[in-house]
Amino acid sequence: MAKPKTTYTIIDVETTGSGNKITEISIFKYDGEKVIDEFTSLVNPEALIPDYITALTGIDDAMVANAPTFSEIADDILSITEKSIFVAHSVNFDYNVIRNEFKAIDIDFRRRKLCTVRLSRVLFPGFTSYSLGKLCKSLQIHIVDRHRARGDAEATTTLFKMLLLQDGSETVFTNFLKKGSKEATLPSHLSSTLFESIPNAPGIYYFKNKKGKIIYIGKAKNLKKRVLGHFYDKKDKELSLCRETADIDFELSGSELIALLMEDAAIKHHFPIYNQAAKRTAKPYAIFSYEDRRGVIHLAYNTLKATPNPLQIFHNIQDCRRYLEHICNEHELCPKYCHLQEGVMSCSHFKIVNCHGVCKNEESVAVYNLRVNEAISYIFSSSQNMILKEKGRHSEEGAFVMIKNGTYQGYGFVDTDDQLVHSDDLEPFLIRQKETTNVQGILRKAVVKYQNQSA
């Protein structure tokens, strides 16, 4: 029996930009020799088309007002692409836009895919640009109606025919279509060689655009795995980020803690456009103490702005409460007087059960306050001067984080052969950093972890 001929559906979509709702789609079905089918249609995105998109494509709200919605043409798209390889220029964009449209109508759209940008980089090496317009100009492919779906899809079809005819194309196509191949997953501007150079180790990574500008910074326990995760993510923000990414750089940290600290410093220094969440200043919280009319010393928490004489500062309310629970439990305090339970006559905390009964008049206020004062002294002094030891970036190196006089000083890396006895010996290796509210939260978690491990 003859082997079924491989078919390819070469696709281009135009969208609303923001939200990436389809306004036009064009599909050419190609059997390796000729076009055997075509589907082209305007699409009502059921959303407004921005002026800048109209200026680029010529498609406006009036043109699509009477066009079918995506759900009305979904069967046509499923039919023409069935058992066919999905092909597009920068395929991840078109594929994910279409997949998201199907997802919105509860259909799981999956096809094998090929990217003509990545194929062209291998089979047509040496061009200065692999954008559709410039590549077609270099290969003398005429484009009719640039930035319209049919015009761009037709030009991509011509390009695809030329790619199939190149020497070695069969091997290249086979490798790109292998299960687990990164070629159809990575951004079109990112070489697979560069990706393979990223290690499976902790550190921070930088996504850069074509101009070399840093557009995103992240941290990871496993750099390669985390970076690849961005390219599998189908959120609009991730699609836009991956589409703009042309280069990736990284720095090893040796540990997740130092990666967190490096990431915070790098974001504050570069302010990448895609790190909006990290750029926002979190509302800090703090723990403080006060004495009530009975003479009971309370530990409580509030926003830093509303806290008198803070004992310890945190970058969010969750970390603040967790630490207060830790203090309450370790020093056998009352959850009611630590404000972990409000509006109760006596405590009945689900997790902290070692209150001695001050809330039931079973323990004297004076005895209880002794333990509270011990807890306050502990809070104040526990992280005043600390060296947190971490793994280094390789087997012959160690790392450390330094806290002095309650303030974060920075981190550093030291060869394991160096004989370092005192914290002052680490000063020459210290990479000094600024303390921020975010860093305080990172270190608070780390300090509690260290204290629990040594308890």
Q: Domain with 57 in it: what CATH number?
A: 3.30.420.10
Sheet holding 203-208, edge to edge: 214-220, 203-208, 247-252
The predicted pLDDT at position 278 comes to: 47
Number of structural domains found in the chain: 4
pLDDT by residue (tens digit) across 251-285?
A: 999 999 999 999 999 998 899 999 875 445 567 88
- Residue 9 forms beta bridges with which residues? 29, 86
| 263 and 320 in a common domain | no
Which is higher by pLDDT, 448 or 207? 207
Mean pLDDT of 284-294: 92
Together in a domain, 268 and 290: no
Would 12 be classed as within a structural domain?
yes
Closest CA to 401 of 412, 385, 414: 412
Residues 430 and 341 in one domain: no
Same domain, 342 and 273: no
Residue 343 and residue 207 share a domain: no
Distance between CA atoms of 141 and 241, rounded to whole angstroms? 29
Tell me the pLDDT band of 180, cut-offs 50, 70 and 90: low
* Contact between 402 and 424 (Cβ < 8 Å): no
pLDDT for position 23: 96
Q: What is the pTM of this model?
A: 0.56
- pLDDT band of residue 75 (cuts 50, 70, 90) is very high
Task: Please tell me whether residues 173 and 217 are part of one structural domain.
Answer: no
3-state secondary structure string, 245-282?
Answer: CCEEEEEECCCHHHHHHHHHHHHHHHCCCCCHHHHCCC
pLDDT of the residue at 420 = 59
Q: What pLDDT is stored for residue 207 in this prediction?
A: 94
Confirm whether 183 is domain-assigned: no
18/100 same-domain check: yes
Domain region containing 163: 8-177
pLDDT at 310 over 90: no
301 is a domain residue:
yes
Tell me if 437 sits within 8 A of 268, measured CB to CB.
no
166 shares its domain with 212? no
CATH code: domain of residue 275? 3.40.1440.10
Tens digit of each residue's pLDDT (9 = 90 or more) over 101-135: 999 999 999 999 999 998 998 999 988 888 899 99
Within-domain flag for 184: no
Domain final position from 239, 260, 279: 279
Position 1 confidence tier, pLDDT thresholds 50, 70, 90: very low
Asked if the structure places residue 422 within a domain, the reply is: yes
Asked whether residue 150 carries a pLDDT value surpassing 50, the answer given is yes
> Mean pLDDT over all residues of the chain?
88
CB count in 10 Å sphere of residue 140: 6
What is the arithmetic mean of pLDDT over 52-72? Answer: 94
Residue 426 DSSP one-character state: G
Q: Which helix (H) or strand (E) holds 81?
A: helix 70-81
Q: Which of 326, 355, 381 is the last residue of a domain?
A: 381
- Chain CA centroid to CA 177, Å: 27
Sign of the dihedral defined by the CA atoms of residues 374, 376, 380, 385, in that order: positive
- Both 259 and 393 in a single domain? no
Summarize pLDDT for 391-438 with one digit per residue, the tens.
Answer: 999 888 889 999 887 788 899 998 887 765 567 778 888 898 988 877
Residue 2 lies in a domain: no
Tell me, yes or no, whether 302 and 248 share the same domain: no
Residues 229 and 297 in one domain: no
- Domain limit, last residue, from 323, 356, 381: 381
> In terms of domains, do 370 and 224 share one?
no
Q: Tell me the H-state helices in 331-434.
A: 365-381
